[in-house]
Structure 1
Amino acid sequence: MAFLDALKEQILIGDGAIGTLLYSKGITENCFENLNRTAEEKVYAVHQEYLQAGANVIQTNTYAANSIKLANYGLEHKVAELNRKGVEIAHKAVHNHGAYVLGTVGGITGLQTKNITDEEIQRSFEEQLDILLHAGPDGLLFETFYSLEELKNVITLARKMTDKPIVAQVALGDIGVLYGGTPVNEAFNALIETGADVVGLNCRMGPYHMIRSLEDVPLYQNAFLSCYPNASLPDYEDGRFYYQSNPNYFGENALRFREQGVRLLGGCCGTTPEHIRAMASALKGYKPITVKDIKKKQLIIQVRKNSKDTDKPIDEIAKERTAVIVELDPPKQLHVNKFLDGAKALHEAGVDAVTLADNSLASPRVDNMALGAMMQSQVGARPLVHLTCRDRNLIGLQSHLMGLHTLGMNQVLAVTGDPTKVGDFPGASSVYDLTSFDLISLIKQLNEGISFSGKSLGQQADFTVGAAFNPNVRSLEKAVVRMEKKIAAGADYFMTQPVYCEQQIIDVYEATKHINKPIYLGIMPLTSSRNAEFLHNEVPGIKLTDEIRRKMAACGEDKEKAEIEGINIAKSLIDTAVQYFNGIYLITPFLRYEMTVVLTQYIYEQVGYNPSSLQNQI
């Protein structure tokens, strides 16, 4: 049966990642496409693993086998050999499996400006397509295209060369939109009009965000839908990227992808044969849907208000009473009124500081120094500014810190920062001139009036430096060792990632009770079952208990009920946390500051502290 005829009748299962799977096996080849000629057996083995897991659509190992990308490795003269071998290996692998082979072509234009002309890009695609098509795949797979125009151009070029099926997949810029703001549905329509037979999404995001992005996409009369999500957001440790191992989660979400009308379902970065096996098993016996109900979603925000602040350093407050700091993420858009409303509400609820992340998840947001200054002057709330090693070199880091000092913002959190691969500009460079240990030490050096370079600053800075502590790890002992090293570097206090288990709170206390620095235990209220599953399966360093996931799942699609349940779960965690820790770090989900206002008030009620009473002010 031909590929498109099969899609009319069934949901086909694609394979998963090739490059990250080879990488996880310890293969450190800089150009994985080069393995087609230097280690053919390794590529063949990967194809076999996916086929045995249940894949019936295999992509060739030719994603970056074009002259422009191969030139980075001095292999631009190997375009013909690598593409021919890629198709040949895939055909050899599917022999007797009855699977389809798609010749893979990846996008060239990234998010960084490079001196490559449109003519050079066109020639590069034309060369690769000509070789692939002569090698005889069952169709073409265009994937991870950040530029809609580039993808349309490639489809137009391919349609002049072949009538074989074309699968065209774009990378999301944010939920439901491409880079530049084009809605997914609008982009898909344009790709279909250009000649694509299958349109879809791949890379950049995991199942949660991709499913949300497909919810407003209809079923098309003249094309099918595909989706190849990442395993999770990547984590970065010891110079290597890691992805969550979550095959069961992929199996559960396979049915949700079916509900969105997906007929070709595979995996991208971080996915393994186990992910594919879980999806294939979950979808066994299910036919594609033929009717889809499109529902638009709305976000409802409520506002509450109350009380006061203090000027004492963050570490000192938690030594004398229960202190509360609340994270409020700077917005991705230029509208800041909602953020300032949230900061005001939290300030009036009595929080001791409002923390501002530094381009969290490697996505650009309104600069936290600017927002901190506005918040400080217009609202009266004290900013606790996060500072990452990712975005600035040594020069930029010192300049930023000098600016914070000048503005009177002396509470900072020094962190490594999520890798750029996570965020909106995956082609951007991660600087990482310093580790978080180095940054803590150098900030303390500024407190001595000494520049990073060793020169005098003319006066001393007065920074209180927080550090991150991740209790959601396999070895809590090793995490505590890192904590002790940060103390040696000069850390004054710690803020943890969110914890979702009462027993874990006790375990963290037992493991850290010898530490003489305050610890602000992280608690983030859940907003829905999908939010819970996303955090559990796709965000590195966060795990939820089965009980919490069941409670959130029981709320179904009732948003109000889910929010109440999320607050109740957080209150239960707070009841335990305040018995062991004097610092509570509330993390506001999706700018829903009304939730963290309620939790702030609850904390103060539990410990008998009235932030509006003068005798309680430190």
Structure 2
Amino acid sequence: MVGRRFAFPPSDDAIFLTDGGLETTLVFHEGLDLPCFAAFPLLSSEDGRGRLERYFEPYLRTAVERDVGFILDTPTWRANADWGAKLDISPDEVAEVNREAVRWADSLRDRLSDERDRVLINGVVGPRGDGYRADARMTAKEAEAYHAPQLQAFREAGADMASALTLNYAEEAIGIARAASSLGLPVVISFTLETDGRLAAGETLRSAIEQTDWETGHAPAYYMINCAHPTHFEGVLSESGAWSRRIRGLRANASTKSHAELDDSTELDSGDPVDLGRRYRALRQRMTQLSVLGGCCGTDHRHIAAICEACIPPSG
């Protein structure tokens, strides 16, 4: 990366945007059928790639207009062996999908940005099991072996970084961080929280971060929270300490509903974009290191625009 503004990991005075809720946008706004909530099969067709490009374009445009960086995700949250098997896709085919996803994102960066160094290609890792339930739990060693092929595919294809999203217990985070570290691939760990501010496994966010850092030698570049509304974790983040300073990113849900309520919903709850932006601003006033700003389920470009309005002065 060239220049201080867009260096990785972001400095306190630099900001990177991300997109919003890819899968919820495609399903609820565009009416697509995504079996197993998997977006990566869209890469196999020209129409699917076009839909992905049209989805990301306004987010990248906003980053350019605001003169900030952008973290460009691969659509690979479900592209691991277990979810691939549910879709009748072999492990070898899944590995190739992950490599192709990075290549596709790299070409999209060239098409939509004149400054490659402001856009980071981010290989997205999802949980082995359900993001909302701590089922099929692994040991850290098992998680390292399980997630290594996806991370290796990202590294081979030239990803700038990887992010593990919607994790709900520490051992999976530890395994992913170890696997990425052994490959020399910068990695971000993002936990999801329940309405009580705890992980689905019952751990506190502090415990999960401290355990992951302790058992990996502080391998993650930073931590994030995703797939939860700020009302679920604002109280937790009022605690100060070294662990909380390791949190540099937020990708919140639009809705204040619990995960169980969201699972049962047949309609999308888009929440209040302006209120979401204000909550991001309030958190950044307390946690000045928060420099990666984006969305998760139910959010779209309206929410990211509102976050920008609340947190980022217009450039120029």
Instruction: Find out whether 1:197 has 2:221 as its counterpart.
Output: yes
Match of 2:8 in 1: 4
Instruction: Find out whether 1:27 has 2:32 as its counterpart.
Output: yes
User: 2: CA distance between counterparts of 1:116 and 1:192?
Assistant: 18
Letter in 1 for 2:39: F
User: 1: CA distance between counterparts of 2:9 and 2:166?
Assistant: 25
User: 1: CA distance between counterparts of 2:78 and 2:157?
Assistant: 17
Instruction: Find out whether 1:94 has 2:114 as its counterpart.
Output: no
The change in CA–CA distance for 1:167 and 1:251 in structure 2 (over 3 A counts) is same
Match of 2:173 in 1: 151
Letter in 2 for 1:59: D
Q: What's the CA shift for 1:217? A: 4.1
Letter in 1 for 2:56: H
The change in CA–CA distance for 1:174 and 1:246 in structure 2 (over 3 A counts) is closer
Letter in 2 for 1:201: I
Q: Deviations over 1:246-282 (max 9, x none)?
A: 2212221221121242221211111101111111222
User: 1: CA distance between counterparts of 2:134 and 2:264?
Assistant: 25
Match of 2:66 in 1: none
User: 2: CA distance between counterparts of 1:180 and 1:16?
Assistant: 25
Match of 2:147 among 125, 142, 145: 125
User: 2: CA distance between counterparts of 1:76 and 1:199?
Assistant: 31
2:256–2:271 Cα contact (<8 Å) kept: no
Letter in 2 for 1:13: L
Identity percentage over the alignment? 23
User: 2: CA distance between counterparts of 1:189 and 1:238?
Assistant: 33
Match of 2:60 in 1: 51
2:206–2:243 Cα contact (<8 Å) kept: no
Match of 2:250 in 1: 227
2:231–2:256 Cα contact (<8 Å) kept: no
Instruction: Find out whether 1:134 has 2:149 as its counterpart.
Output: no
What is the SS of the residue equivalent to 2:10? helix
Match of 2:124 in 1: 104
User: 2: CA distance between counterparts of 1:76 and 1:93?
Assistant: 26
Q: What's the CA shift for 1:157? A: 1.5
User: 2: CA distance between counterparts of 1:112 and 1:279?
Assistant: 30
The change in CA–CA distance for 1:118 and 1:149 in structure 2 (over 3 A counts) is closer
User: 2: CA distance between counterparts of 1:8 and 1:220?
Assistant: 16
Match of 2:206 among 176, 185, 210: 185
Q: Which has the higher contact order (CA 8 A, sep 6+)?
A: 2
Match of 1:210 in 2: 233
Q: Deviations over 1:482-532 (max 9, x none)?
A: xxxxxxxxxxxxxxxxxxxxxxxxxxxxxxxxxxxxxxxxxxxxxxxxxxx
The change in CA–CA distance for 1:242 and 1:153 in structure 2 (over 3 A counts) is same
User: 2: CA distance between counterparts of 1:119 and 1:212?
Assistant: 33
1:101–1:137 Cα contact (<8 Å) kept: yes
Q: What's the CA shift for 1:23? A: 0.8
The change in CA–CA distance for 1:71 and 1:50 in structure 2 (over 3 A counts) is same
Q: Deviations over 1:92-138 (max 9, x none)?
A: 23332522221110111443655989877544311111101111122
Q: What's the CA shift for 1:237? A: 11
The change in CA–CA distance for 1:125 and 1:23 in structure 2 (over 3 A counts) is same
The change in CA–CA distance for 1:272 and 1:29 in structure 2 (over 3 A counts) is same
2:206–2:244 Cα contact (<8 Å) kept: no
Match of 1:356 in 2: none
Greater radius of gyration (CA): 1
Match of 1:386 in 2: none
What is the SS of the residue equivalent to 2:281? helix
Residue correspondences, number: 284
Letter in 2 for 1:100: L
Letter in 2 for 1:179: A
What is the SS of the residue equivalent to 2:224? strand
Match of 1:36 in 2: 43
User: 2: CA distance between counterparts of 1:99 and 1:64?
Assistant: 23
User: 1: CA distance between counterparts of 2:137 and 2:164?
Assistant: 23
Q: What's the CA shift for 1:245? A: 4.2
Stretches of structure 2 lacking an aligned partner (at least 5 in a row): 64-68
What is the SS of the residue equivalent to 1:169? strand
User: 1: CA distance between counterparts of 2:144 and 2:174?
Assistant: 12
Q: What's the CA shift for 1:175? A: 2.7
Q: What's the CA shift for 1:52? A: 2.1
Match of 2:291 in 1: 263
The change in CA–CA distance for 1:215 and 1:22 in structure 2 (over 3 A counts) is same
What is the SS of the residue equivalent to 2:151? helix
User: 2: CA distance between counterparts of 1:108 and 1:121?
Assistant: 8
The change in CA–CA distance for 1:243 and 1:174 in structure 2 (over 3 A counts) is closer
Match of 1:324 in 2: none
The change in CA–CA distance for 1:149 and 1:106 in structure 2 (over 3 A counts) is same
What is the SS of the residue equivalent to 1:57? strand
Stretches of structure 1 lacking an aligned partner (at least 5 in a row): 287-618
The change in CA–CA distance for 1:166 and 1:113 in structure 2 (over 3 A counts) is closer
TM-score normalised by the chain length of structure 2:
0.80
Letter in 2 for 1:33: F
2:143–2:176 Cα contact (<8 Å) kept: no
The change in CA–CA distance for 1:224 and 1:180 in structure 2 (over 3 A counts) is closer
Q: CA RMSD in A?
A: 2.9
What is the SS of the residue equivalent to 1:142? strand
